Structure 1
Amino acid sequence: MDKKAVFFDADGTVCDIEKGVPDSALEAITRLVNNGHQAWLCTGRSRAFVPGCLEQIPFTGMITACGATIEKDGKRLYNNEMPVEVARFSTETLRKYGLVPVMEGADYMYYDKDEYTTEVNWYADLITEALGDKWKPIRGNEDDMHINKISAKMQEGCDDEAACRELSAWYDVIRHENNAFVGTTIELVPKGCNKAVGIAAVCRCFDIPWESTVVFGDSNNDLSMFEYACTKVAMGNGSKKIRELADYVTTDMFHYGIRNGLTKLGLI
């Protein structure tokens, strides 16, 4: 059997912000690796926000922050950080237009708890709990934020279009469908940086043929990797655009989606 490199999104694909990683997903990816294939995490989460439930999966490596950070076997190989002055300007701009900035880095995430509350995002406290000592406030760190990307949280009355225009020199924008888990979030990633770029870099570095690439995903920040990879598997809970691009739509992750998808492909 040809050996594959399988790239998995995190949220909505192999993990849930409240429930963690289903046992079936952990078991299936472990079997995948034991069968000699590679398993890569390819997530919009920054490296600082990869919790223990994902660390327990035997990933070959991780592509985090939509391709801005890459590691293999626990060693960081690449980390695309925004200049600190751009990070500060970005924070000021988002606030000016009524959005809440969540600044995401490889070592820390930065946000102010009195601003980023459960009224803005119901799972804000869960993020703080998961981060532990990897959380820092923006206040007091304005000139020392080491970030890879931003999650801008929309609020009623905000002018997100104006904010994105003003920041367009530095960032590409990822918008999510309104009914998605992150429907009120706009992701701002460094220009030219996305999950597909991260996957392509891994393939170049480790001599992985394009024909051997497989991706699993569910949301619109997976679109680039679905447009790039050879074989695409959408989760049953996936966005309309993701399901349209998929070669196969599996079940959702809590109904054995990862196991069913890997079985369908003959990888486990």
Structure 2
Amino acid sequence: MRKKAVFFDADGTICDMKKGTPDSAIEAVRALIDNGHEAWLCTGRSRAFVPWYLEQIPFTGMITACGSTIEKDGKRLFNKEMTPEIAKLSVEVLRKYGLIPVMEGADYMYYDKDEYTDEVNWYASLITEALGDKWRPIRGNEDCMQINKISAKMTAGCDAEAALAVLSEYYDIIRHEGSSSFVGNTIELVPKGFNKAVGIAAVIRLFDIPWEDTVVFGDSNNDLAMFEYAATKVAMGNASPKIQELADHVTSDMFHYGIRDGLRYLKLI
């Protein structure tokens, strides 16, 4: 078997906000690496928001913030940040039109706890707990935020289209389908020209990995770019309709051995 580079989405694929990562997935990734393959995290989360339950997995490297940050063996190789001026403008525009800004960076995430609450997203407090000292308020940091991307939270009566009409000059927009408990009311704003496929393309160019040896596992619409790009695509059982349509194989969800069974199906473990 030729050496493969396997890229795993995080939320909904290899981890859950409340339950962490199942042991079966950790063991499967370890077996994958033991068999001589590479395992990369490829997540929409910014690097600051990679918690202990993902850090415990022996990934070869990480692509975070939808391709904006790349690291290998713990060393940061690339980090695309918006300017502090655009970050500040983004907060102003989102708030003007009734959206709540969650500003995501490689070292810190910025949001105001009195604005981004469990009533907005049930997992807001879990994010704060996971971040620890990597959380910072927007208030007081308006002029110095270092961010890769934004998760804008829609609220009742917001005018998302008006906000995006302004901010689409600076960001590519990822819209999520349905009422997922994790991303259903979130619009992701990623730097122009960046996505998970761009991150994967950069990695395989940097490390001389043939495109035909790329494999991706994912579930949500911020995985669309990498599903359109990679050679082999595995959708989780809980994946969005668009992801399942693009997949070469649909496995079960992560808590029903989806990672293990998907890798076994591909004969990688």
Task: Tell me if TM exceeds 0.5.
Answer: yes
Q: What letter matches 1:47 in structure 2? A: R
Q: What is the CA distance between 1:169 and its match in structure 2?
A: 0.8
* Cα drift, residue 179 of structure 1: 2.2
| C-alpha distance in 2 between matches for 1:179 and 1:227 | 23
- Give the Cα separation in 2 of the matches to 1:133 and 1:58: 23
Cα deviation 1:63-122 (Å, max 9, x = unaligned): 000000000000000000000000000000000000000000000000000000011101
Partner of 1:216: 217
Q: Indicate the SS of the match to 1:196.
A: helix
CA deviation profile, 1:168-195 (whole Å, cap 9, x unmatched):
1100000001222301000000000000
Q: Does residue 266 of structure 2 align to residue 254 of structure 1? A: no
Which residue type is aligned with residue 26 of structure 1? I
Number of residue pairs matched?
268
State whether structure 2 residue 5 is matched by structure 1 residue 18.
no
Unaligned runs of 5+ in 2: none
Specify the code of the residue in structure 1 equivalent to 2:207: F
Q: Secondary structure at the match of 1:144?
A: coil
The answer to whether residue 28 in structure 2 is matched with residue 28 in structure 1 is yes
Aligned match of 1:237: 238
Aligned AA (2:133): D
> In the alignment, what sits opposite 1:48?
48
Partner in structure 1 of residue 145 of structure 2: 145
The residue number in structure 1 matching 2:99 is 99
Deviations 1:135-160 (A, max 9, x none): 00000000010000000000000000
Q: Match of 1:72?
A: 72
Which position in structure 1 is the counterpart of 2:192?
191
| Secondary structure class of the residue paired with 1:29 | helix
Task: Give the Cα separation in 2 of the matches to 1:35 and 1:164.
Answer: 45
- Supply the AA of the counterpart residue of 2:204: C
Residue in 2 that maps onto 1:200? 201
Task: Measure how far apart 1:253 and its partner are.
Answer: 0.2
* Counterpart position of 2:8: 8
Letter in 2 for 1:18: K
Which runs of at least 4 in structure 1 moved beyond 3 Å after TM superposition? none
What is the TM-score when the length of structure 1 is the normalising length? 1.00
SS at match of 1:251: coil
The one-letter code of the counterpart of 1:170 is Y
The Cα of 1:214 is off from its aligned counterpart by 0.1
Of all paired residues, the percent bearing the same amino acid is 78
Spell out the pairing of 1:50-199 with structure 2 (5 A cutoff): 50-180=50-180, 181-199=182-200
Q: Which amino acid in 2 is paired with 1:77?
A: L
Task: Measure, in 2, the Cα distance between the counterparts of 1:219 and 1:54.
Answer: 18
TM-score norm. by structure 2 comes to 0.99
SS of 1:227's equivalent in the other structure is helix
Match of 1:36, SS state, is coil
What code does the residue aligned with 1:200 have? A
Query: Residues of 2 paired with 1:212 and 1:48: CA distance?
Result: 29
Residue deviations 1:183-237 (CA, integer Å, cap 9, x gap): 1000000000000000000000000000000000000000000000000000000
1:159 maps to a residue whose letter is D
* In structure 2, distance between residues paired with 1:185 and 1:96: 17
SS at match of 1:77: strand
